[in-house]
RNA sequence: GCUGUCAUAGCUCAGGGGUAGAGCACCUCAUUGGUAAUGAGGAGGUCGAGGGUUCAAUUCCCUCUGACAGCACCA
């Protein structure tokens, strides 16, 4: 006699085992029609499942956000059926729901191309129109393996073999087609609806391992209704509109070319932006007690062997050799071993700790070609890199201090929200388990002291220590990992760093590796996309342009520009032989935040007419007022 | 690195076995116009690189390079 508790607290008794469908029907015809699945004691189940014990039940309808995952998962199944109907001999593997949609990985000698998508999508719509019910069957493991093997589905058979013994093997049927699946599913294929679209094809390794065969993956997006789908497609367009590669070209910030793959040619305006960011970081670091150093680009491989990088990252390092010397030099991929060299140069006292050593040095890493992405992922870059040499007791205090600095920096750049992930010990790694226990415990308790809430990112730490990853969220909801704080007991040991203790003994410092913006290249890419090229005035590469209306006002325009430049603003003049309409249009498209329009009237009265980007209104003011206003607006936040 | 797609003027793109086209940008001239495109003219290309097929290749085939998407990677 199951008693079913509903979300409103009411309890319904049933005389015997009862299915979700029956419960929904007993509540009302509206629910019976709308219910797609149910959540039983927190677990999603098919509506057709029978309940024979007391339970809390919540019905999932199309209005629930939870319906999305079901729709996407089912769309993946339907896509697999469509593909196997159209391309016999294709093997199925896995096809989950993902954020925004779904995919299915297929094994086929000839991979799918974008041209195949319309036919597959059409077939899917047929299957959905047929509205075959999803039915669940429990199978014996060996029989299930035989079933899939008999159909040549060796990937599925392998999946079943690797399922834990405790797992119930279930198969879901839709019409004549079936798939190994844990479920749950909607009532039938018709519940998927029409708000989906196949988006792209891609290769993907079987089980995510590059040593395995490459499968052919088809991605789709699926939503509850057309409105949601349209909104999603619009969001993709928005991301495309903000693409830093496109805006970088439009605003003439930088370019890249074949002869320097993965390296940025910074143009004047982009470099101005870069310098603004770097200068800001330098001021913040000084404020927070860092010293700044500069270390060599090329270092003997012996140093990298000692640090452990040669073993771990040799294939990702650029190597330089010279004819006359029997030496192998590596272009530095990071600064830490160099900073230890400075630390080791001379006797250090416990009185000097914590010693915060920063560097904006250029690093080079031979990133795989497929990883490169605009200026976001490059082979030559500089970080706001620093290493804090301290005692174990100082870890917590330094973490607090670091998080405070990071908060300010992110807020100043327009990212008030960020999340923290704790990445613990990876395999393989350097250092004993005892050292790792100590490092992880120290970082955990430092988080507690700093009041930092985190989620765990298992096995993702650096080879020498656990790390915190700081992930910020941009204006259109995308996440970017920028900051990091890593606790390292290993490198000081490997490179024999030590200091003199209060008792005149010797002790090893702990190293905290840390960065806030991470690579400047990447961070600037994020800044560009976050504001879509419409920078706050202190970052804008061209904060203002002076546009003349008639030739007679050109001299005055140059005077205005000269005064603004004298006030530290990087303005340009537009005295081209064009109408003011054309100048306003061109400067607006170039995303110049302020257009100072000057004609005969302004020249006579020593005024300017300011038009701000995104507004079609104008403000008339005296030249002195304009300079004062712009100068105030263009002041970096830490200098206000 | 792997799979797929792509590479034509500075940019965005059309074209197609018989040695190339548009718009914008650029240059010249006229025009001095008050807040998102004034008009006319001109110049600009080894069609990514190398090889092959062909009477003929920018077009078809192969190799390489690079870009893009995803996967793998990210000290």
User: Nearest residue (Cα to C1') for B38?
Assistant: A579
Residue closest to A78 by CA, chosen among A192, A225, A202, A204: A192
pLDDT at A477: 87
pLDDT digits (tens, 9 = 90+) for A137-196: 999 999 999 999 999 999 999 999 999 989 999 999 999 999 999 989 999 999 999 999
Report the C-alpha dihedral over residues A92, A93, A95, A98, rounded to 10 degrees.
-150
Residue closest to A217 by CA, chosen among A76, A86, A123: A76
A80-CA/B6-C1' distance, Å: 28
Strand partners, A231: none
**Cβ-based neighbours of A331, under 8 Å, separated by 6 or more:** A297, A298, A317, A318, A319, A320, A364
The rounded distance, in Å, linking the Cα atoms of A187 and A236 is 31
- With left for phi above 0 and alpha for psi between -120 and 50, is residue A350 left, alpha or beta? alpha
pLDDT at A325: 84
Name the helix (H) or strand (E) containing A631: helix A623-633
pLDDT at A427: 87
Q: Does the pLDDT of residue A321 top 90, yes or no?
A: no
What is the arithmetic mean of pLDDT over A290-306?
Answer: 97
pLDDT digits (tens, 9 = 90+) for A587-631: 999 999 999 999 999 999 999 999 999 999 999 999 999 999 999
What confidence category does residue A381 fall into, taking pLDDT thresholds of 50, 70 and 90?
very high
* Angle at the Cα of A253 from the Cα atoms of A247 and A258, rounded to 5 degrees: 90
Start and end residues for every CATH 3.40.50.800 domain found in chain A: 544-639
Produce one character per residue of A437-473: b if its CB has 16 or more CB atoms within 10 Å, e if not: ebbbebbeebbeebebebeebeeebbbbbbbbbbbbe
Strand partners, A618: A611
With CA of A336 and C1' of each nucleotide, the nearest comes out as B75
Strand, coil or helix: A368: coil
Strand B nucleotides within a 7 Å radius of protein CB atoms: 1-5, 11-12, 25-26, 29-38, 65-75
The rounded distance, in Å, linking the Cα atoms of A507 and A620 is 67
Cα-to-chain-centroid distance, residue A122: 33
DSSP characters over A430-460: SS-HHHHHHHHHHHHHHHHHHT---EEETT-
Query: Class for domain A71-241, per CATH?
Result: alpha beta
The single residue listed with the structure tokens 């960065």 is A515
Cα-to-chain-centroid distance, residue A609: 41
pLDDT at A571: 95
A111-CA/B56-C1' distance, Å: 36
What is the arithmetic mean of pLDDT over A101-120?
Answer: 92
Residue closest to A319 by CA, chosen among A338, A337, A304: A304
With CA of A596 and C1' of each nucleotide, the nearest comes out as B35
Produce one character per residue of A206-215: b if its CB has 16 or more CB atoms within 10 Å, e if not: bbeeeeeeeb
ipTM > 0.85, yes or no:
yes
Strand partners, A43: A40
A370-CA/B51-C1' distance, Å: 27
pLDDT digits (tens, 9 = 90+) for A524-569: 999 999 999 999 999 999 999 999 999 999 999 999 999 999 999 9
Write out the catalytic residue numbers of A.
336, 365, 383, 385, 387, 467, 513
pLDDT digits (tens, 9 = 90+) for A83-97: 999 999 999 999 999
Start and end residues for every CATH 3.30.980.10 domain found in chain A: 71-241
A259-CA/B48-C1' distance, Å: 12
pLDDT digits (tens, 9 = 90+) for A195-231: 999 999 999 999 999 999 999 999 999 999 999 999 9
- Provide the pairing of β-strand A418-423 with A362-364: unpaired
- With left for phi above 0 and alpha for psi between -120 and 50, is residue A131 left, alpha or beta? left
Residue closest to A330 by CA, chosen among A343, A342, A347, A316: A316
Strand, coil or helix: A280: helix
With CA of A548 and C1' of each nucleotide, the nearest comes out as B34
A591-CA/B23-C1' distance, Å: 22
Q: Does the pLDDT of residue A136 top 90, yes or no?
A: yes
User: Nearest residue (Cα to C1') for B1?
Assistant: A368
Q: What is the CATH number of domain A544-639?
A: 3.40.50.800
What confidence category does residue A115 fall into, taking pLDDT thresholds of 50, 70 and 90?
confident
A381-CA/B69-C1' distance, Å: 24
The rounded distance, in Å, linking the Cα atoms of A286 and A290 is 5
With CA of A553 and C1' of each nucleotide, the nearest comes out as B32
A498, A507 contact by CB (below 8 A): yes
Which superfamily does A254-531 belong to? Bira Bifunctional Protein; Domain 2 (3.30.930.10)
Which superfamily does A3-60 belong to? Beta-grasp domain (3.10.20.30)
pLDDT digits (tens, 9 = 90+) for A414-465: 999 999 999 999 988 988 999 999 999 999 999 999 999 999 999 999 999 9
With CA of A618 and C1' of each nucleotide, the nearest comes out as B35
Start and end residues for every CATH 3.30.930.10 domain found in chain A: 254-531
A259-CA/B36-C1' distance, Å: 38
A258-CA/B58-C1' distance, Å: 21
With CA of A213 and C1' of each nucleotide, the nearest comes out as B2
The rounded distance, in Å, linking the Cα atoms of A313 and A625 is 56
Strand, coil or helix: A182: coil
Cis peptide before A184 (omega within 30 of 0): yes
Residue closest to A20 by CA, chosen among A54, A62, A58: A58
User: Nearest residue (Cα to C1') for B10?
Assistant: A249
Residue closest to A95 by CA, chosen among A112, A83, A77, A118: A77
With CA of A602 and C1' of each nucleotide, the nearest comes out as B34
Tokens of A185: 């599913």
What is the arithmetic mean of pLDDT over A240-265?
Answer: 95
Q: Does the pLDDT of residue A263 top 90, yes or no?
A: yes
What confidence category does residue A322 fall into, taking pLDDT thresholds of 50, 70 and 90?
confident
What confidence category does residue A277 fall into, taking pLDDT thresholds of 50, 70 and 90?
very high
Name the helix (H) or strand (E) containing A126: helix A117-130
pLDDT at A590: 93
Mean pLDDT of chain A: 95
pTM score, whole prediction = 0.94
Cis peptide before A354 (omega within 30 of 0): yes
pLDDT at A110: 85
Q: Does the pLDDT of residue A323 top 90, yes or no?
A: no
């Amino acid at each position: 006699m199951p008693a079913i508790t509903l979300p409103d607290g009411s309890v319904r008794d049933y005389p015997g085992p009862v299915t979700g469908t029956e419960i929904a029907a007993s509540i009302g015809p509206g629910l019976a029609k709308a219910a797609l699945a149910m959540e039983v004691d927190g677990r999603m189940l098919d509506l057709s499942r029978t309940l024979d014990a007391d339970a809390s039940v919540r019905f999932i309808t199309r209005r629930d956000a939870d319906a999305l995952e079901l729709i996407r998962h089912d769309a993946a199944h339907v896509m697999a059926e469509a593909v196997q109907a159209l391309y016999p001999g294709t093997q199925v593997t896995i096809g989950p729901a993902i954020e925004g949609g779904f995919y299915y990985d297929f094994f086929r000698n000839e991979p799918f191309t974008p041209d195949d998508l319309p036919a597959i999508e059409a077939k899917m719509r047929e299957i959905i129109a047929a509205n075959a019910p999803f039915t669940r069957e429990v199978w014996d493991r060996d029989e299930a393996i035989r079933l899939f093997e008999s159909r040549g589905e060796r990937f599925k058979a392998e999946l079943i073999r690797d399922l834990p013994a405790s797992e119930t093997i279930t198969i879901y049927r839709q019409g004549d087609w079936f798939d190994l699946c844990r479920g749950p599913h909607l009532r039938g294929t018709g519940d998927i609806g029409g708000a989906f679209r196949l988006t792209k094809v891609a290769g993907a390794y079987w089980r995510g391992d590059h040593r395995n065969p490459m499968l052919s993956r088809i991605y789709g997006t699926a939503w509850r209704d057309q409105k949601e789908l349209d909104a999603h497609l619009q969001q993709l367009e928005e991301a495309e509109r903000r693409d830093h590669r496109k805006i970088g070209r439009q605003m003439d910030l930088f370019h890249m070319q074949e002869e320097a793959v993965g390296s940025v040619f910074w143009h004047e305006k982009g470099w101005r932006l870069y310098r603004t960011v770097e200068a800001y970081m330098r001021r913040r670091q000084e404020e927070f007690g860092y010293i700044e150093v500069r270390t060599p680009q090329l270092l003997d491989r012996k140093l990298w062997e000692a640090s452990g990088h040669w073993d771990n990252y040799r294939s990702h390092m650029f190597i330089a050799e010279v004819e006359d010397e029997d030496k192998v030099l590596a272009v530095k991929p990071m600064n830490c071993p160099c900073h230890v060299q400075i630390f080791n140069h001379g006797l250090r006292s416990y009185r000097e700790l914590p010693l915060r050593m920063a560097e904006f040095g250029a690093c080079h890493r031979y990133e795989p070609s497929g990883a490169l992405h605009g200026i976001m992922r490059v082979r030559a870059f500089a970080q706001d890199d620093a290493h804090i040499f301290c005692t174990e007791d100082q870890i917590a205090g330094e973490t607090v201090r670091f998080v405070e600095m990071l908060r300010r920096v992110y807020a100043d750049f327009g990212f008030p929200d960020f999340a923290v992930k704790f990445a613990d010990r990876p395999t393989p790694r350097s250092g004993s388990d005892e050292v790792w226990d100590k490092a992880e415990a120290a970082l955990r308790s430092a988080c507690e002291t700093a009041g930092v809430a985190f989620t765990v990112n298992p096995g993702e730490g650096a080879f020498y220590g656990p790390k915190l990853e700081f992930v910020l969220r941009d204006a259109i909801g995308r996440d970017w990992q920028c900051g990091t704080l890593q606790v390292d007991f290993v490198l000081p040991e490997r490179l024999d760093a030590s200091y003199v203790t209060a008792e005149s003994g010797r002790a090893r410092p702990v190293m905290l590796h840390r960065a806030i913006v991470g690579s400047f290249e990447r961070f600037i890419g994020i800044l560009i996309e976050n504001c879509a090229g419409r920078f706050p005035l202190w970052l804008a590469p061209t904060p203002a342009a002076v546009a003349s209306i008639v030739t007679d006002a050109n001299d005055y325009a140059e005077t205005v520009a000269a005064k603004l430049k004298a006030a530290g603003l990087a303005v340009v003049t537009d005295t081209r032989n064009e109408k003011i309409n054309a100048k306003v249009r061109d400067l607006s498209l170039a995303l110049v935040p302020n257009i100072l329009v000057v004609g005969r009237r302004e020249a006579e009265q020593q005024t300017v007419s300011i038009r701000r980007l995104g507004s079609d209104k104008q403000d008339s003011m005296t030249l002195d007022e304009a300079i004062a206003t712009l100068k105030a607006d263009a002041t970096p936040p830490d200098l206000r």
